[in-house]
Amino acid sequence: MINSVRNTVLAILNKNNYGYISPQDFNLYAKQAQLDIFEDYFYQYNYQVQKENARQSGTGYADIKEGYEEVIDLFSEFLPLTFLGAQFYNMPSIATTASDYYFINKVLYSPSAAVGAGILATDFVEVEKVTNKKITLLNSSLLTSPNDIYPAYVTAGESMTVFGPTGLQQDNIWCQYIRYPRDPQWTYTTLAGGEPVFNQSNPSFQNFELPLDDEPTLVLKILQFAGMSIRELQAVQFGQGLESLENQEEK
């Protein structure tokens, strides 16, 4: 999809003599455009939930909320967290889980540690997230302090502290989270004439991770960024106008 998006953007710019964007600039604009659309999923999902609660949404193929759920689930990861010792675990990151987290949906404790793919859903106990202020109050009483059945965790910086379970070790704590989309990279080879040619076999290649129906929105957003870069107001207005029309149709 990334090559199709780039060709469309260049075709629009060249047709109207707005200018040219380099592959490096395109990749920067593509990253920002993908992030904008990704974050908008959650706002649109919340909007559809409100419509559903007001009984203004449809069912079946008209259930837009379910569509957003399916798209967001494309970025869902379920992995064990890296054990640091004692009660501490690393939060999801490029270094620990190969992907940064957008938000953590749930944290689970597995009493049967280190059994890998053999872990079943019934082997998990959900760990409740509490604030650093609340954990002090919980730990101050034997009746409310976290335990094996009702564990809790707090976060600080890039680490997580788990309270309650005994015998914490590697693969004890698992996390289901929504990660950020990977940065798109349009890779190329340069011919003698100097014109870059798309090269999907490059190890650095990374396609967009968005559904195909987001391609028009990607084009419009990248056009806006490109228009601001080359100081061409018409290109910005063209992208903004079509994007506004598209948003109205979605609602």
Q: What is the pLDDT of residue 14?
A: 76
Q: What is the pLDDT of residue 208?
A: 95
Q: What is the pLDDT of residue 196?
A: 87
Q: What is the pLDDT of residue 113?
A: 57
| 144 secondary structure, DSSP code | T
Other Cβ atoms closer than 10 A to 24: 9
Q: What is the pLDDT of residue 86?
A: 85
| Contact (Cβ atoms closer than 8 angstroms) between residue 129 and residue 196 | no
CA separation for the pair 111, 122 (Å, rounded): 11
Q: Return per-residue pLDDT of the chain as tens, 251 residues.
A: 999 999 988 888 776 555 678 889 999 999 999 999 999 999 988 988 888 787 776 677 677 788 888 999 999 998 889 889 889 999 988 888 888 889 899 999 987 754 454 555 557 889 999 988 898 888 888 788 888 889 999 998 889 999 988 878 888 889 999 999 999 999 999 876 778 889 999 999 999 999 998 999 999 889 888 876 555 555 455 555 655 655 554 55
The one-letter amino acid code at 222 reads: I
Could you give the 3-state DSSP secondary structure of residue 55? coil
- The vertex-145 CA angle with 144 and 150, nearest 5°, equals 90
From residue 15, how far is each of 12, 18, 51, 101 by CA, in Å? 5, 8, 41, 40
What is the sign, positive or negative, of the torsion defined by CA atoms of 140, 142, 143, 148?
positive
